[in-house]
Amino acid sequence: QVQLEESGGGLVQAGGSLRLSCAYSGGTFNKRAMGWFRQAPGKEREFVAAITWSGAGRYYADSVKGRITISRDNAKNTVYLQMNSLAPEDPAVYYCAAARGIVSRLVSEYDYWGQGTQVTVSS
Give the pLDDT of residue 21: 98
Give the pLDDT of residue 88: 87
Q: CA Rg, the chain, in Å?
A: 13
Give the pLDDT of residue 123: 84
* Separation between Cα atoms, residue 70 and residue 56, nearest integer Å: 11
> Cβ(110)–Cβ(88) under 8 Å?
no
Give the pLDDT of residue 122: 92
Q: Using alpha carbons, list the distances in angstroms from residue 58 to 21, 48, 68, 70, 122.
A: 16, 11, 11, 7, 28
pLDDT in tens, 56-66: 999 999 999 99
φ, ψ dihedrals at 15, nearest 5°: 90, -10
* Helix, strand, coil distribution of the chain in percent, nearest 5: 5, 50, 45
| pLDDT beneath 70, residues of the chain | none
